[in-house]
Structure 1
Amino acid sequence: MDNWLFWAVAGATTLGVGFILLQALRQSATASDDGAALKVYRDQLTEVDRDLARNVITAAEAERLRTEVSRRLLDADRALQSAAPKGGKGSALPATLLIAALLGLGLYAYDRLGAPGYGDLPLATRLAMTDDNYRNRPSQAEAEAAAPAPEPVKTDPQFTELMTKLREVVKQRPDDPQGLALLAKNEAQLGNFAASRAAYQHLLQLKGDSASVNDHLGLAQTMILAAGGFVSPEAEQQLIVVLERDPANGLARYFSGLMFAQVGRFDRAFALWEPLLREGPEDAPWMEPIRAGLQEVADRAGIKYQLPDAKGPSAGDVAAAADMTPEARQEMIKGMVGQLESRLSTEGGPIEDWLKLINAYGVLGEADRAKTTADQAKAAHPDQAAALDAALAALPKGPSTSDVAAAAQMTPEDRQAMITGMVDQLETRLFTDGGPLADWLKLMSSLMVLGDKPRATAAYEKAAAAFAGDTEALGQIEDAASTAGITP
């Protein structure tokens, strides 16, 4: 719309609104409350005559009521006559000036604070702008150059020495896939994301079509981290490969949603993130960033959405109880889990809460109750049976936190012998033969519950080495270590 036309329409609208307001004020001035009272009193006189005709009141009472109502009627009529000049032309002048001042102030404020002359911005134009943002976003090299330097990660001298040796080995044997995978993982752990990205790129060049989904996902993740959280076109290509092979991959879906949010397509970001939040699991690395950003994404996409509250104890809550005495820890855990179980049994709840309860029972070592909870959840959410079965399958095995807490009832010697025996057996088996990720996570947690941080740290490093190249597993290991307070 041309600038002059806009102001013509705005001025005409302003004058029209002012005229309507002025007319309303003038009508209000002539129709006083006393005028309305006259009608009420006349109706009361008529009602007195009706009551007398129906013998509801006596003649004497009717006469008394007529006298009283007539007196009030005369008083109201005199008040109305004396107020008549208020409806004259002079009384409209202040109201007219006030309306004109308010309308003029509105136009002045818009001229200073608004955007007069700014063109229309229809949906098609806005989508075209986001498409332009998408096509012209910085490359990986540009994003890395602009990204702030990562915070240095403190490591012990032994780990630093191992990294020096590893870098030298890879330099001597640059085409060794195993060495490249280990280097990429450990460089990322140290915050050297650009070096990790370079190692992953060379690894994928060597593997070619045989590169796994985790190889492509690892490269995408380190690209994004090296770019300070920005999803470049090169990182997007790796995410596309991952989702073509594994459409349900949670981390790739999260990063794809992040990319759409960065270019302004909040509707697409919401379509990717909202299902991830519903599906869980609660301890997935993308859950917290999605929960922190999904409401804003929905608001900016124009989607009516209310972020669900996270209720109940998490795996981190249960692990944090390791700092308490066994008795206090057991009471706290029972209280939290009991409250969540009671609410879900009586009121039901979202699938995230059921998964959280199953996970809590797994951490407590109560596999039977976890299975019963999963059956109840399937009845409430039959479409989530696969996710519930996966949660049961992922429950840790080996000595549980409840096993350790139960040892508080024994003598100190027996308790120490039992705990040491269980944990030693699990540690020996994993260090010798390896094992599933859940067992490594349980070993780390059990050692921290026992207060043996050096062995827990060693278990963490062994687990990280065992799953080098598996970005998703490494993410769970890092999360478990962070929750338990393990530092390399």
Structure 2
Amino acid sequence: MTLLIVVMAAIAVAAGLWLTRPLWARATAATLRRKRANVIAYETRVAEIDADVAAGTLDAESAQQLRDEAGARLLDDAAAAAEAGESAPRRRGLALALVLLLGALAGLGYWLEGSWRTRALIELAQRDPQAAEQQMIDGMVGQLERRLKSAPDDAQGWAMLGRAYLVLQRYSDAAQAYSRANALSVAQPQAEWLIAAGAAQGMANPQRDLRPARPLFEQALTLDPGNVEALWYAGLAALQADDAAAAYAHWLKLRELSPPEDLAAILDQQLPALAAKTGQTLPPKPAAAPSGVQLTVHVRLADALRAQLKPGMTLMVFAKAENGPPMPLAVQRIASPQLPLSVTLDDSQAMMPAMKLSAFERWVVTARLTSGAGAQALSGDLEGSHPASRAEAGSPLELVIDRQVP
């Protein structure tokens, strides 16, 4: 690190010296040349005056007056040359000041954007990983916002910004960003962006009203009829609009796709009532596909945190790839749990076909007791984590909730 600082400083100084080299030039040679030229001009003028006097074309009084004027001009020129010579130190002082300013600006830029910021972020991550993650997200969101100001027609950029806003639970901003992305991709609409725009609109509404976003979900299903999220949101929007037939059709198809366990539990509760309301016979539930990987997690709460347990807390148990994308690969949500308990995570709980437990070799399993309804950790939540590998998939994993989110 010290060697890098020295090298960067040397480069900054060298660049400053090169850029200000005209200000370092010495004025001595130019000043002497000017003085000699002035003396020669004076002597030549005096010789001309003397020649005119000798030829009788100029009287002695006029000749003396002309000699005095030439002498006065010589003195004025000499004074100007002296001032030019005296200004050289000032120019060198200005050059030195510019070099120092350039070095200071380079150092400031390095401080603000370089390794000091990275080191500070690493130190923060060691103390508070969630705060470091939040700082990184905020920084990336700020960079993306600035980039989109100069490139407002970047549909992919607006979708990325909308996804970031959703992570930050800035739902109104997310809805606007996804709406911009969808407006820029009318020729080639993206089902995921349409779904995200509709979901963000609903979450931005205090009543979680999805009815205004219903056309977005239907358009997404036209593009991708088997999209799990689109079927879920389309059915929920239809249910809010008292369209039981549409809600039943969407959710019946969703059940056939083996959705995550929390959605499957809601479908098992709602579909019989919707079938009865629409006068239809609910077909038997399809057999669950065998899971490629299964993790059995035994969750308990550390004795030191029992006083922090609040009534009505929800237990979330989820697994993420140890070296992979930040989204969960499998999630279980249990309301008002009685700890200790055992939870099973498997491929049937994947939100996306390519993002499931069996696609990775190592995971980090986290159990969180939260008072919120979202996936983001809140201050005061209780959680614990444990790494796991494919070799441990056949044995129960002991996971202790042993820390409180600051």
Give the alignment's TM-score, normalised by structure 2.
0.38
Rg larger for = 2
- Which structure is higher in strand share? 2
Name the structure where helix makes up a greater proportion of residues: 1
TM-score normalised to structure 1 length: 0.33
Q: Higher RCO, 1 or 2 (CA under 8 Å, sep at least 6)?
A: 1
